[in-house]
């Protein structure tokens, strides 16, 4: 499914860009809306109606808020329409069966699960549209009266399925005045190809090692294999998600939009606090602005701040999936964020080496919880990481995946920023290198059968 979606993107993109650039400026949002619905509908045709329903809910809610500025009660009623409507869609499709399953376990009932599948990108676009209605309620922006323009914002195909989460206030001006800028197109192409390379050449190959570990069975792997396996997953999810985000940002630039940055080399962090300022930055910003601060943030004393952190990270874990391992994963990070707020952060600043080591270990153990839905299997895997068992599988890993892991380490650090700067400055070299990288990615896609997008399921 995901492999064919990426192939479809390459077939779909040239025609879309041609139609977009040839269309009069007043019609470009209409082209974007139509193209985005085709792109989304090709992968999930039956869920176009859910997307359209989400658009209608927030269009109605925002304009209702705008019309009733003089009545706080009516404004709140329309805001609740947006919040309940968006969260209702998300709960119904993503969490209903999780609740049914746990209710059955607790009560001994046998309620049948709902016959629904998770719509692609629903966690992203429901948060995106809900933030718009909240911003209108707060007076941070005026409601959008043009339904086509609003629909284009919600459905923007570059970032529709897996982010970054784009607030309406960030692209409002561009929606109203989309301009073709050759320098931005050039930069967008460069970012798109680099993101594609991160996804196809690094994430996919790291994912093969993690898949290899799972196929062998956790009880059969040695201690080094267990460490290399979860390291491979850490690189897979990073380059998978950051690569897709960079592709989305690049496509956005080509179309005239400036999407927010979503990753800032998080594996170079020296604390968990810093890590979450660098990883999935738009989601962290969303929870900070629309959950943490409304709860009181750090304004109501240290004890309340720590409670607010736990609530936010419980919700962050649950946002990622309807499974207990995601909730545990969120609480795992909440513990360390609370410790850092309480006393640990100052000590980490004084010992950079140990700060890097501590952060890396906490993140890796967190990825074990995240990657393995079955909690007993999480325990098995962690035990293998400290089992003091050795075998020839370490040679197998180094021989087959050593180059991939070395490249992943290198490009997950800020050296990648220097690569981007070099390509921006050396135009001729940049064109040649990017063309070669693009051809290599296409060849890999045509030849390979392993091409998952991990965040498509969130």
Work out the number of other CB atoms within 10 angstroms of the CB of residue 34.
16
Q: How far apart are CA 412 and CA 202, in angstroms?
A: 10
Label residue 398 exposed, middle or buried (CB < 10 Å: 0-12, 13-18, 19+): middle
| DSSP code, position 158 | T
Which residues neighbour 19 within 8 Å (Cβ) at sequence distance 6 or greater? 31, 35
pLDDT of residue 275: 97
Asked if 70 and 297 count as a contact pair (C-beta separation under 8 A), the reply is: no
C-alpha dist (Å) from residue 167 to 174, 220, 279:
12, 47, 18
Residue 186's contacts (CB-CB under 8 Å, 6 or more residues apart) are none
Which of 280, 320, 351, 356 is flagged as catalytic?
A: 320
Structure tokens at 383: 């035990």
User: From CA 275, how far away is CA 281, in angstroms rounded?
Assistant: 10
Q: What's the sign of the alpha-carbon dihedral 411, 417, 418, 422?
A: positive
Q: 235, exposed or middle or buried, with CB in 10 Å at 0-12, 13-18, 19+?
A: buried
d(CA 368, CA 381): 8
pLDDT of residue 454: 59
For the entire predicted model, the pTM comes to: 0.91
> What ranges do the domains of the chain cover?
2-178, 184-457
Q: What is the pLDDT of residue 73?
A: 92
Q: Torsion angle of alpha carbons 335, 336, 339, 345, nearest 10°?
A: -160
DSSP percent split of the chain into helix, strand, coil, nearest 5: 80, 0, 20
Q: Where are the alpha helices (DSSP H) in 177-296?
A: 182-197, 204-216, 223-255, 272-278, 281-287, 293-295
Instruction: List per-residue pLDDT tens for the chain, 458 residues long.
Output: 444 455 656 677 788 888 888 888 888 889 889 888 888 877 668 888 888 999 999 999 999 999 998 889 999 999 999 999 999 999 988 999 899 999 898 888 888 888 888 888 888 888 989 999 999 999 998 998 999 999 999 988 888 777 798 999 888 888 888 777 888 888 899 999 999 999 999 999 999 999 999 999 999 999 999 999 999 999 999 999 999 999 999 999 998 898 999 999 999 999 999 999 999 999 999 999 999 999 988 888 888 888 999 999 999 999 998 899 999 999 999 999 999 998 899 889 899 999 999 999 999 999 999 999 999 999 999 999 999 888 888 888 889 999 999 999 999 988 877 777 777 777 778 788 889 998 898 888 777 666 565 555 55
pLDDT at 8: 59
Reply yes or no on whether 320 is catalytic: yes
In angstroms, rounded to a whole number, what is the distance separating the alpha carbons of residues 379 and 238?
Answer: 23
Retrieve residue 284's tokens: 């962290």
């Amino acid at each position: 499914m995901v492999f064919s979606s990426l192939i479809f993107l390459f077939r779909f993109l040239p025609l879309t860009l041609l139609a977009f650039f040839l269309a009069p400026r007043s019609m470009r949002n209409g082209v974007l809306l139509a193209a985005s619905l085709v792109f989304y509908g090709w992968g999930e045709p039956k869920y176009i109606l859910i997307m359209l329903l989400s658009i209608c809910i927030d269009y109605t809610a925002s304009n209702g808020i705008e019309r009733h500025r003089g009545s706080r009660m009516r404004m709140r009623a329309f805001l609740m329409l947006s919040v309940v409507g968006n969260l209702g869609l998300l709960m119904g499709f993503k969490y209903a069966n999780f609740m049914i399953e746990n209710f059955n376990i607790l009560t001994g009932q046998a309620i049948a699960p709902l016959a629904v599948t998770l719509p692609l990108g629903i966690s992203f676009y429901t948060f995106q549209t809900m933030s718009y209605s909240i911003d209108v309620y707060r007076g941070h922006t005026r409601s959008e009266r043009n339904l086509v323009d609003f629909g284009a914002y919600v459905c923007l195909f570059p970032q529709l399925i897996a982010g970054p989460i784009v607030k309406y206030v960030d692209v409002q001006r561009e929606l109203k005045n989309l301009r073709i800028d050759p320098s931005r197109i050039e930069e967008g192409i460069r970012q798109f190809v680099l993101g594609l390379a991160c996804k196809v050449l690094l994430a996919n190959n790291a994912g093969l090692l993690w898949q290899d570990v799972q196929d062998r069975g956790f009880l059969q792997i040695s201690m080094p294999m267990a460490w290399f396996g979860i390291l491979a997953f850490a690189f897979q999810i990073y380059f998978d998600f950051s690569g897709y985000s960079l592709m989305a940002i690049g496509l956005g630039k080509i179309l005239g939009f400036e999407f927010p940055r979503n990753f800032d080399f998080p594996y170079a962090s020296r604390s968990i606090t810093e890590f979450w300022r660098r990883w999935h930055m738009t989601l962290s910003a969303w929870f900070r602005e629309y959950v943490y601060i409304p709860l009181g943030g750090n304004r109501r004393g240290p004890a309340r701040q720590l409670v607010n952190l736990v609530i936010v990270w419980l919700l962050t874990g649950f946002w990622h999936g309807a499974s207990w391992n995601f909730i545990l994963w969120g609480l795992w990070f909440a513990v360390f964020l609370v410790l850092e707020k309480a006393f640990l952060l100052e000590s980490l600043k004084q010992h950079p080496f140990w700060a890097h080591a501590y952060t890396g270990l906490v993140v890796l153990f967190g990825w074990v919880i995240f990657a393995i839905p079955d909690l007993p299997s999480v325990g098995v895997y962690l035990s293998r990481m400290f089992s003091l068992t050795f075998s020839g599988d370490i040679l197998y890993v180094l021989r087959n995946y050593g180059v991939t892991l070395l490249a992943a380490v290198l490009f997950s650090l800020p050296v990648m920023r220097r690569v981007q700067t070099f390509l921006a400055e050396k135009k001729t070299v940049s064109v040649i290198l990017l063309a070669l990288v693009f051809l290599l990615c296409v060849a890999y896609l045509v030849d390979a059968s392993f091409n998952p997008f991990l965040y498509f399921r969130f």
